[in-house]
């Protein structure tokens, strides 16, 4: 069982994540008419080799279920921001592909999102705190931490 301190810090971490996520999402929607999840899909595709990812890998990268990422990619495809193609060498596999319009939309939305990250997250840390927090998060996110 967690200690009172561990449980308190855990709850504080969850509240902080929820608050920052809500603020960043609200800014993206208000200024760019783009959800945070949609922004994340565009970022993942932009950073992927050849700007394409298998749908299963994309779902893992954006922390959505396979059906959730499918619905989101459906909406992004209708908006012309993402396309779908058959995976090379695999007749059943589907890859999501960032379109030129999607790349342009991402560039525009990045201005809003990155300014929000700096303001609502980065500015909350004192000297040395951000690096220490980053190391802790890296340790928690490492694949070998939890089997």
pLDDT tens track for 12-52: 999 999 999 999 999 999 999 999 999 999 999 999 999 99
**Cα distances (angstroms) measured from residue 139 to each of 7, 62, 128, 132, 145:** 19, 19, 17, 11, 7
What is the pLDDT, as a whole number, of residue 88?
75
Taking each helix axis from N to C end, the angle separating 66-78 and 36-47, rounded to the nearest 10 degrees, works out to 90
pLDDT in tens, 65-97: 889 999 999 999 999 999 999 887 766 789 999
Query: Is pTM beyond 0.85 here?
Result: yes
């Amino acid at each position: 069982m967690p200690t009172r301190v561990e449980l308190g810090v855990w709850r504080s971490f969850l509240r902080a994540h929820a608050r920052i996520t809500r603020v960043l999402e609200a800014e993206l929607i208000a200024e760019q008419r783009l959800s945070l999840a949609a922004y994340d899909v565009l970022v993942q595709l932009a950073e992927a080799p050849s700007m394409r990812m298998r749908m299963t890998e994309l779902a893992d990268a954006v922390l959505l279920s396979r059906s959730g990422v499918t619905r989101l990619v459906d909406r992004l495809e209708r908006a012309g921001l993402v396309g779908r193609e058959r995976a090379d060498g695999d007749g059943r596999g589907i890859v999501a592909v960032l379109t030129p319009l999607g790349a342009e939309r991402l560039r525009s939305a990045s201005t809003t999102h990155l300014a929000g990250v700096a303001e609502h997250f980065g500015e909350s840390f004192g000297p040395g705190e951000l690096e220490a927090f980053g190391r802790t998060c890296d340790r928690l996110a490492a694949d070998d931490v939890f089997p």
